[in-house]
């Protein structure tokens, strides 16, 4: 344990690769959604079924946690007078930093963005005229500063015929923006993606990528889960574009984990405490949210004087604390229930109903899971942090067994592909 952080940082990403041929990548989802294949990994045993059969393989009276985030039309296109097309990909709001407040802005706002065809955009403002709710709107984009290949962009807009008429930025994005499907699909966004790339429970706008494990659910599957007396609960994690990024460094010590916004209700935390030991997370985003909650609670217990409107969690925080626990007799492990209660107490003391934070948590082999007992997830890209997460959950040899099975049994991979129910442990 003393060298845990060093072991984590020296993990070689080449050890988390597998052959992924182009024909295995699903370009479109199957219809209906719940007719997709479902790989079952239960304590070392492998089998398969269809997704509609999922409720029959879940623990009765357990808790199913899924991500209710909704993908926004994050891609905006501008054309310069020269004809050059500039793409602005909105990643996360900066001013206002709150998603809801940003979408409600009526004159200007700022976002952290990626820019396509950047070499054609110097310092001039980009201008585009568009129709929003039948009104002629002039939209302007101005590049302010650059950090780590991302750009701070200020958007301003107004109604050309009635400048005093308020136009919401959320409405503007819905009208003028394009849904950002994953780049590895190697195709343009189609009309069908507007429905198929959203989960049936999507409602809180903010993601630039779908929580894809949730794409398989249908109202019929959800109803069958309810009949099994399995509690369904929601969290919000707005998925960032970093979810598509493979680890390019040889060791993960040089990989900067993307930060993502999370939000959970006080009532959810209370319910979660009563279901500890029986929690199934839908997708890596739900896993990341739930495990981050433990470490936020840990942070509150260790530093009770900290009271911040916006909490952040560093990617190495968990591993540093595990080392501190091992090395110092004064540091003891915090029970999961105590960590969650600490967040509830924090909310009560500050008259809050919702806990919001930003997590950069990197879950890699060596990570200790405190909340999640089973995971529903798709098949991820080689050399990705998502594959590291699956390996941390199952073990180095076990994830390979799962992916070898999926490849030899014609499972479809990545966002629109098939899924797996993973229950670690031994028979």
Do 135 and 201 sit in the same domain of this protein?
A: no
Do 125 and 240 sit in the same domain of this protein?
A: no
The average confidence (pLDDT) of the chain is 92
Quote the number of domains for the chain: 2
197, two tokens: 């790339």
Do 117 and 225 sit in the same domain of this protein?
A: no
Q: How far is CA 118 from CA 115, 190, 249, 313, 371, in A?
A: 6, 25, 24, 31, 42
CA-closest candidate to residue 208, choices 331, 73, 335: 73
Q: How far apart are CA 61 and CA 313, in angstroms?
A: 31
Do 241 and 386 sit in the same domain of this protein?
A: yes
What number is the average pLDDT over the span 225-230? 94
Residue 64 counted as domain residue = yes
Phi/psi for 359 (5° steps) reads -115, 135
- The tens digit of pLDDT for each residue in 78-92 reads 999 888 999 999 999
Do 215 and 322 sit in the same domain of this protein?
A: yes
pTM beyond 0.95, yes or no: no
Residue 185 counted as domain residue = no
Residue 183 counted as domain residue = no
What pLDDT is stored for residue 310 in this prediction?
Answer: 56
Do 271 and 164 sit in the same domain of this protein?
A: no
Residue 186 counted as domain residue = no
Do 233 and 258 sit in the same domain of this protein?
A: yes
Do 45 and 165 sit in the same domain of this protein?
A: no
pLDDT of 124 strictly over 70? yes
Do 304 and 397 sit in the same domain of this protein?
A: yes
Residue 210 counted as domain residue = yes
Question: Which residue among 150, 178, 206 closes a domain?
Answer: 178
Do 79 and 64 sit in the same domain of this protein?
A: no
pLDDT of 149 strictly over 90? no
What pLDDT is stored for residue 257 in this prediction?
Answer: 86
Higher pLDDT pick, 133 / 225: 225
Question: Which residue among 178, 203, 232 closes a domain?
Answer: 178
Count of alpha carbons within 13 angstroms of residue 66, beta-carbon side: 24
Residue 40 counted as domain residue = yes
Residue 30 counted as domain residue = yes
- Which residue's entry shows tokens 């409405």? 171
Higher pLDDT pick, 133 / 63: 63
Residue 104: which domain range?
75-178
Task: Collect all residues with Cβ–Cβ distance below 8 Å to 422 and sequence separation of at least 6.
Answer: 41, 374, 375, 376, 377, 390, 393, 394, 402
Do 157 and 79 sit in the same domain of this protein?
A: yes
What's the CATH code of the domain at 216? 3.40.1780.10
Do 259 and 389 sit in the same domain of this protein?
A: yes
1: pLDDT confidence band, cut at 50, 70 and 90?
very low
What number is the average pLDDT over the span 42-58? 96
What number is the average pLDDT over the span 160-164? 91
Question: Which residue among 178, 208, 226 closes a domain?
Answer: 178
């Amino acid at each position: 344990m003393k060298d845990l952080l060093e072991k984590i940082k020296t993990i070689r990403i080449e050890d988390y690769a597998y052959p992924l041929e182009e024909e295995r990548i699903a370009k479109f989802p199957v219809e209906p959604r719940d007719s997709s294949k479902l790989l079952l990994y239960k304590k070392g045993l492998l089998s398969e079924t269809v997704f509609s059969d999922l409720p029959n393989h879940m623990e009765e009276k357990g808790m199913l946690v899924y991500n209710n985030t909704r993908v926004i039309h994050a891609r905006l296109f501008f054309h310069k007078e020269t004809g050059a097309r500039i793409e602005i990909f909105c990643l996360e709001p900066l001013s206002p930093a709150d998603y809801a407040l940003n979408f409600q802005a009526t004159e200007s706002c700022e976002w952290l963005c990626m820019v396509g065809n950047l070499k054609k955009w110097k310092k001039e403002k980009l201008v585009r005229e568009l129709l929003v709710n039948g009104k002629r709107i002039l939209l302007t984009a101005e590049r302010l500063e650059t950090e780590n290949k991302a750009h701070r962009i200020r958007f301003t807009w107004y109604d050309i015929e009635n400048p005093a008429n308020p136009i919401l930025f959320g409405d503007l994005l819905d009208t003028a923006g394009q849904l950002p499907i994953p780049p590895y699909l190697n195709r343009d966004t189609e009309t069908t993606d507007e429905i198929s790339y959203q989960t049936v429970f999507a409602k809180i706008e903010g993601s630039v990528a779908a929580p894809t494990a949730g794409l398989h659910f249908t109202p019929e599957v959800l109803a069958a889960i309810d009949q099994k007396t399995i509690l369904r609960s929601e969290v919000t994690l707005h998925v960032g574009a970093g979810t598509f990024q493979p680890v390019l460094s040889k060791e993960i010590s040089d990989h900067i984990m993307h930060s993502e916004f999370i939000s959970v209700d006080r009532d959810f935390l209370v319910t979660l405490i009563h279901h500890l030991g029986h929690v199934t997370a839908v997708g890596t985003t739900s896993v990341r949210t739930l495990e981050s909650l433990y470490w936020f609670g840990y942070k509150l217990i260790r530093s009770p004087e900290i009271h911040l409107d916006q909490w952040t969690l560093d990617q190495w925080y968990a591993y540093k604390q595990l080392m501190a626990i091992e090395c110092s007799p004064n540091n003891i492990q915090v029970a999961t229930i105590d960590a969650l209660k600490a967040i509830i107490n924090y909310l009560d003391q500050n008259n809050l109903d919702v806990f919001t934070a930003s997590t950069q948590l990197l879950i890699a082999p060596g990570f200790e899971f405190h909340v999640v007992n089973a995971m529903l997830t798709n098949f991820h890209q080689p050399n990705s942090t998502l594959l590291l997460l699956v390996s941390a959950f199952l073990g180095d040899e076990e994830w390979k067994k799962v992916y070898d099975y999926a490849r030899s049994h014609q499972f479809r991979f990545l966002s629109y592909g098939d899924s797996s129910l993973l229950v670690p442990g031994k028979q």
